């Protein structure tokens, strides 16, 4: 009798251990299509961020070994956070997510799903702005994370910051110096902190002047059109040798807005400096740095193409990295 009880107890333990090892089958893991790996996207503070996701879900026939999903769930979290926790409202029924068909040749092979965030009543948290994120999508057999297969984590960044140079003012120039104040602005919705690495690069290139003491723009003039030392500066801060532009007849085909012309002489008529940022720049606010150039009365009038370049070493990850430089031409008299 003792032997029977011992056998039944052992059988019970084995049965419990076997049950604990049972893993319910899960759907195939989704494959995220968009956004791209490592993408930097526009984020907006005050819960105003929006985001569109796309993923492929392969398979159209459910089987006991790999059932089709009944729900999807999105995990968007700081890269430093271990994992996501979910509430029931975050699980989206498959039929509620817009989809298009995916084919392998002529055979239906799966669906591509598109989901717009935020979901109703669940804005994207401001805590996810301006930090490294990971994104994954779960295909679930039920309304719980344990029944989900997740896509490979994908790096993502939601930036709510954008630095842009502004005007250059020479209103503080005096009898001995040309004083240029280079402005810049935070076009984003979160503050840009000051750090030792935050710099503003300013370059003043001496500009050619016309007989009216204005910055020359006549790049097709006889003394400039084929001059190998002439550099055209554009409003975006870029400079290009005039002879690098295509020539058609007696004209250079120049693209972009020319703000001034510099005649290269080995760099002796250029002033360049890298200045500290010097402030925490709040959203919508403007800051400035100042550069002074000694210019005597005998040297005037003198023109300078002022180039402002904010965050040229990419310390700040911005939602627009194409507007960090600007140029304008000023004349000190």
- For residue 299, the model assigns a pLDDT of 95
For the chain, which ranges sit under pLDDT 70? 1-23, 143
**Residue from 215, 167, 161, 216 nearest 189 by CA:** 161
**Residue from 232, 237, 239 nearest 216 by CA:** 232
Q: Does 25-159 match 163-332 in CATH topology? A: yes
- pTM for the whole structure: 0.84
pLDDT > 70 in the chain, percent: 92
pLDDT digits (tens, 9 = 90+) for 33-43: 999 999 999 99
The CA-atom distances, in angstroms, between 276 and each of 8, 297, 311 are: 79, 30, 10
- For residue 17, the model assigns a pLDDT of 42
Domain residue ranges of the chain, discontinuous segments joined by +: 25-159, 163-332
- Say if residue 40 is exposed, middle or buried (CB neighbours under 10 Å; 0-12, 13-18, 19+): middle
**Residue from 162, 201, 142, 188 nearest 326 by CA:** 201
pLDDT digits (tens, 9 = 90+) for 228-265: 999 999 999 999 999 999 999 999 999 999 999 999 99
List phi, psi (to 5°) of 196.
-60, -20
Q: Answer whether CATH 3.90.1530 is correct for domain 25-159.
A: no
Structure-block tokens of residue 125: 């948290």
List phi, psi (to 5°) of 71.
-140, 155
Pick the CATH number of 163-332 from 3.10.450.50, 3.40.960.10, 2.60.40.10, 3.40.50.410: 2.60.40.10
- Tokens 């026939």 label which residue? 61
Cα torsion at 283, 286, 289, 295 (round to 10°)?
Answer: 160
Residue 267's region, left for phi above 0, alpha for psi from -120 to 50, else beta, is: left
């Amino acid at each position: 009798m003792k032997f029977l009880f011992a056998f039944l107890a052992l059988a019970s333990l084995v049965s419990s251990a076997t049950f604990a090892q049972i893993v319910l089958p899960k759907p195939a893991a989704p494959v995220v299509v968009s956004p791209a790996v490592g993408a930097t996207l526009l984020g907006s503070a005050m819960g105003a961020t929006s985001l569109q996701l796309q993923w492929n879900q392969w398979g159209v026939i459910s089987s006991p070994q790999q059932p089709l999903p009944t729900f999807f769930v999105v995990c968007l979290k700081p890269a430093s956070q271990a994992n996501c926790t979910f509430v029931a409202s975050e699980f989206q029924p498959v039929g509620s997510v817009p989809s298009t068909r995916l084919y392998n040749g002529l055979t239906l092979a799966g669906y591509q799903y598109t989901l717009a965030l935020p979901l109703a009543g669940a804005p994207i948290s401001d805590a996810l702005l301006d930090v490294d994120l990971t994104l994954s999508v779960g295909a679930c057999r039920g309304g719980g994370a344990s029944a989900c297969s997740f896509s490979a984590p994908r790096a993502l960044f939601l930036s709510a910051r954008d630095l842009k140079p502004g005007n250059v003012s020479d209103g503080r120039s005096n009898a001995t110096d040309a004083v240029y104040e280079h402005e810049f602005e935070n076009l984003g919705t979160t503050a840009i902190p000051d750090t030792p690495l935050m710099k503003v690069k300013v370059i003043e290139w001496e500009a050619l002047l016309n007989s009216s003491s204005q910055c020359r723009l006549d790049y097709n003039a006889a003394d400039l059109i084929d001059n190998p030392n002439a550099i055209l500066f554009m409003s975006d801060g870029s400079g290009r040798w005039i002879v690098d532009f295509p020539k058609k007849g007696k004209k250079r085909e120049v693209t972009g807005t020319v703000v001034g012309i510099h005649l290269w002489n080995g760099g002796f008529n250029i002033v360049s400096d890298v200045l500290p940022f010097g402030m925490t720049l709040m959203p919508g606010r403007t800051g400035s740095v100042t550069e002074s150039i000694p210019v005597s009365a005998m040297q005037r009038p003198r023109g300078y193409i002022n180039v402002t370049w904010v965050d040229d070493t990419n310390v700040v990850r911005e939602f627009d990295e194409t507007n960090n430089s600007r140029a304008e031409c000023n004349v000190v008299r």
